[in-house]
Amino acid sequence: MQNENHLTTAFKRNDQKVMQQVYQNMFPRFRNHVLNNSGDEAQAKDVFQEAFIACWRNIKEDKLTFNSNVEAYLFSIAKNKWIDFLRSSRFKKTVNTESFSHLSLVAEESDKSEEKESQLEVIQKALNQLKDNCRALLQLFYLERKSMDEISKEMNLTPATARNQKYRCMEKLRALSIEIKKNGL
Amino acid sequence: MDYSGPNYIAQEQQEEFEYFLLGHMNIEEEISFNKRLEKEPLLKRQFEEFKTLFLTVEEQALRMKLDEFHDNFE
């Protein structure tokens, strides 16, 4: 087990290697849990990925108490999300959820307001309308945290062009978001 | 999102916001940036707007990445 402080720092930095390692350590365990609790592989994947995003976000917002175990935290969020899924109406149609009431609930940090949710949807839709090269550039810079020099080499652009494109892409994303918000989703 | 106005911020302003959000500022820079946010309501609105865009882009990019993590070990 790696030093926990190292793991939270790595998540905050979006360290791809560490996040991939945590994903690959924990997914098989969660998949077993889901398969043993009336779920299938695809449901396990969807719920686990939502949990991973929530875990990552909470770490960034310092909601994880000092010295907590990141993998245990991720697993508890995923288990909670699985309970939510089992209780959702879609699932209730086919299975009696009473039998799952013994699964313990762990409080999860989730304070997304509805307004925040719809804002997210608007920007997600705008992102989908961006050109591929914009999305690629923004992914390298904001998620993978590569320098503009690295990005310009990777994308075969001059540094000045890459810098300018990043600016234009965000300007475009904002304009599209405003448009989508005005016209409704 | 509470849009800060009809026009998008200048390139240098975007880059300063990015520099902050990516955690590249040293402690002195961070303190002075936060002071400016307190004193300048327009800057504050522009920053909040940019931050929302930034965080959403980052999160969506991670969603794509998770699919790669998944495919890589199957």
Taking the CB of residue A11, how many other CB atoms lie within 10 A of it?
21
Residues of A with CB under 8 A from a CB of B: 12-14, 16, 19-20, 23-24, 27, 45, 49, 52-53, 56-57, 119-120, 122-124, 127, 135, 138-139, 141-145, 163-164, 167, 170-171, 173-175, 177-178, 181
Q: Is residue B4 part of a domain?
A: no
Q: Smallest Cβ distance to A174: which of B8, B58, B67?
A: B8
What are phi and psi for residue A63, nearest 5 degrees?
-85, -10
Residue A88 burial class via C-beta count within 10 angstroms: exposed 0-12, middle 13-18, buried 19 and up: exposed
Give the side-chain half-sphere CA count within 13 A for A157.
18
Evaluate if residue A172 carries a pLDDT over 70.
yes
Q: Is residue B5 part of a domain?
A: no
CB B18 within 8 A of CB B54: yes
A22 or A1, which is more confident = A22
As for how many domains chain B has, the answer is: 1
In this prediction the pTM is: 0.84
Q: Is residue B55 part of a domain?
A: yes
What pLDDT was estimated at residue A1?
A: 46
Distance CA A100, CA A122 (A): 35
Distance CA A123, CA A181 (A): 9
Q: Smallest Cβ distance to B59: which of A23, A53, A164?
A: A53
| Residue range(s) defining the domain that contains residue B47 | 11-73
Q: Give the pLDDT confidence of A49-96 residue by residue, as tens digits.
A: 999 999 999 999 888 875 678 999 999 999 999 999 999 866 655 555
Q: Is residue B40 part of a domain?
A: yes
What value of ipTM does the predicted structure carry?
0.91
Place of tokens 């999860």: A108
A171 contact residues in B (CB cutoff 8 A)? 8
Evaluate if residue A102 carries a pLDDT over 50.
no
> Which residue out of B66, B70, B72, B74 would a mutagenesis test of the A interface target, given it has the greatest number of A Cβ atoms within 10 Å?
B66
Q: Is residue B38 part of a domain?
A: yes
Q: Give the pLDDT confidence of A110-131 residue by residue, as tens digits.
A: 445 677 778 889 999 999 999 9
Return the amino acid letter for A111: D
In chain A the domains, ranked by start, together with CATH numbers, are 4-100 (1.10.1740.10), 114-183 (1.10.10.10)
Distance CA A165, CA A130 (A): 12
> Which residue out of B1, B46, B63 would a mutagenesis test of the A interface target, given it has the greatest number of A Cβ atoms within 10 Å?
B1
Q: Is residue B3 part of a domain?
A: no
Q: Is residue B69 part of a domain?
A: yes
Within 8 A by CB and 6+ apart from A30, the residues are A44, A47, A48, A51, A75, A78, A79, A82
Return the amino acid letter for B26: N
**Quick one: which of A150, A168, A172, A53 has its CA closest to B55?**
A53
What are phi and psi for residue A27, nearest 5 degrees?
-60, -45
Taking the CB of residue B44, how many other CB atoms lie within 10 A of it?
14
Distance CA B37, CA A20 (A): 36
- Which chain A residue's Cα is nearest to B12? A167
Q: Smallest Cβ distance to A120: which of B11, B56, B69?
A: B56
Taking an 8 Å cut-off on Cβ atoms, the answer to whether B54 and A139 are in contact is no
Q: Which of residues 27-66 of B touch A (CB under 8 A)?
A: 49-50, 52-54, 56-66
Cα end-to-end span (Å), chain B: 39
Tokens, residue A21: 């390692």
Q: Give the pLDDT confidence of B6-57 residue by residue, as tens digits.
A: 789 999 999 999 999 999 999 999 999 999 999 999 999 999 999 999 999 9
Q: Smallest Cβ distance to A173: which of B18, B53, B63?
A: B53
Distance CA A34, CA A161 (A): 47
Distance CA B41, CA B59 (A): 27
What pLDDT was estimated at residue A46?
A: 96
Residue B24 sits at the chain A interface (C-beta within 8 Å): no
Q: Is residue B2 part of a domain?
A: no
